[in-house]
Homo-oligomer: A and B are copies of this chain.
Amino acid sequence: MAQKEYAQKLASKSSDFSQWYVEVVVRAGLADYTDIKGCMVIRPYGYTLWENMRDALDKRIKATGHENAYFPLFVPESLLKLEAEHVQGFAPECAWVTRAGNDKLEEPLAIRPTSEAIIGSIYAKWIQSYRDLPVLINQWANVVRWEKRTRLFLRTSEFLWQEGHTCHRTFDEAQEETLRMLGVYREFIETELAIPVIVGQKSESEKFAGAQLTYTVEALMADGLALQAGTSHNLGQHFAKVFDIKFLDEDNVEKHVWQTSWGVSTRLVGAIIMVHGDDAGLTLPPRVAPVQAIVIPVITTEHKAAVLEKAEALRAALVEAGVRAKVDRDESKSPGWKFNEWDLRGVPVRLEIGPKDIAKGQVCLVRRDLPDRAKKKMFVGEDEMLPTIRRLLEEIQSAMFERAREFRDRNTHAVSSYEQFREIIETRRGFVVGAWAGTAEDEAKIKEETKATLRCIPLAQPETVGNCFFTGKSAQHIAYFARAY
């Protein structure tokens, strides 16, 4: 589809990151634009990637005692308005249903931008006693936030996500849950997506509209901008009070529940692209790659049947062993064209098989993640193919994580003055870390002057902190700043 585009070279990642990003998304077949403002279509290759990510995270969500459910798409205006901060945060981005069939609705319905309001109103009906707690429910769903400026996967009017919504007896239990799920996100993103994250707390200005405390996992993209990869909120009793979610406790006293909510979304696909991609295109972490090994038959007219047969046999052996493998049988394209194509699509291992390889009883393997892959053809005996590919997939997964961590660390700069801060943000970007004792107004000033925002106050703090780089006051903690998506 749209094959003519492939003739052109990709934009350069280093000189035009933005254009490179869009071209990778579209040409690799992850997603496409539509005529509906701000909405994308997730194509099969991108959706299979998302399915693998979803399944890996869903397993972890269930292993921590949660169950999935499904709540309505619509939030009546009156419900959304009950929590003041929440409506202020979300109303400007809501899409409103005002008509059904030919009738005007009595009350406009927002399409959920997030489901605290709708779920809170339902929990109020379900929960009566301390015996009903904790409620540990997650939902996989689409949500809509009407964005003025959109970007494939990173900011679209509609996106897919999961949102956990839990209720507890005490603040401490809710806090434990909030941090547990933050930890699940960290482990999931690092293990499955090979993306290292900084785990921390959001400042008052950056927290979720309606939360008491917001925690985040922050990742660094290859262009030096940060990306919020997932958030976990301790909602306190804010929503419990406005939706009247009460339980009769063991001491016979009626109390409001303590809540949490937490979510990650399809924007993580954007993070994978921006952390691991290179000038040749996408590089996918093996654990979530839709295709882990692509078999390219190197065909000559004479040996065509034998090579195709061998290619299919290798694929079958790989699939049998649990490796997601595929043969590119397209006869209208050359092997060289296919090498580039599957590099662009980020497949971790390429397997080349031609008449010479068959004669020698070998296959040729090439890693996608190494920059100078052309030089790295590995020839292994056919009987060594399976264990070698298994080992390669694991090595690639770790190597990708290590490279991303190394990049992140190299682009994390400690500062002790605002002058230094500005200089780094202007010239080198990346994470800027310093002692922080500023106010919300200080944050706003920094944002205005540098476009950098406080990404998080990391949970891991040094023993001694020193004085705030901005105010000069004695600080209690360090904070991470960056320009961000």
Contacts and interface: CB of A to CB of B under 8 A. Distances in A.
Contacts of A32: 122, 125-126
B73 A144 contact: yes
A137 interface: yes
Contacts of A118: 34, 36
A127 interface: yes
Given A94-B101, A99-B95, A122-B32, A47 B74 contact: no
A63 interface: no
A388 interface: no
A144 B35 CA distance: 21
Contacts of A144: 73
**Identical chains bound together, number:** 2
A28 to B, nearest CB: 14
A97 B100 contact: no
A212 interface: no
Contacts of A73: 39, 111, 142, 144, 158
Contact of A68 (B44, B70, B101, B132): B44
Interface SS majority for chain A = mixed
A23 interface: no
A71 interface: yes
A99 B122 CA distance: 26
Contact of A97 (B1, B71, B97, B141): B97
Q: What range describes how many residues of A lie at the interface?
A: 35 or more
A101 B97 contact: no
B69 A43 contact: yes
Nearest to A76: B36
A266 to B, nearest CB: 9
Which one of A43, A70, A99, A144 has the greatest number of beta carbons of chain B within 10 Å? A70
Contacts of A160: 70
A1 B126 contact: yes
Contacts of A3: 129, 131
A55 to B, nearest CB: 10
B111 A101 contact: no
Contacts of A48: 67-68
Contact of A96 (B34, B71, B97): B97
Given A67-B48, A332-B131, A146 B101 contact: yes
Contacts of A131: 3, 332
28 contacts: A1-B126, A1-B127, A1-B128, A2-B126, A2-B128, A3-B131, A34-B72, A34-B121, A35-B76, A36-B76, A36-B109, A41-B71, A41-B72, A41-B122, A46-B69, A51-B68, A72-B158, A73-B142, A73-B144, A91-B101, A93-B101, A94-B101, A95-B97, A95-B100, A96-B97, A96-B99, A96-B100, A98-B98
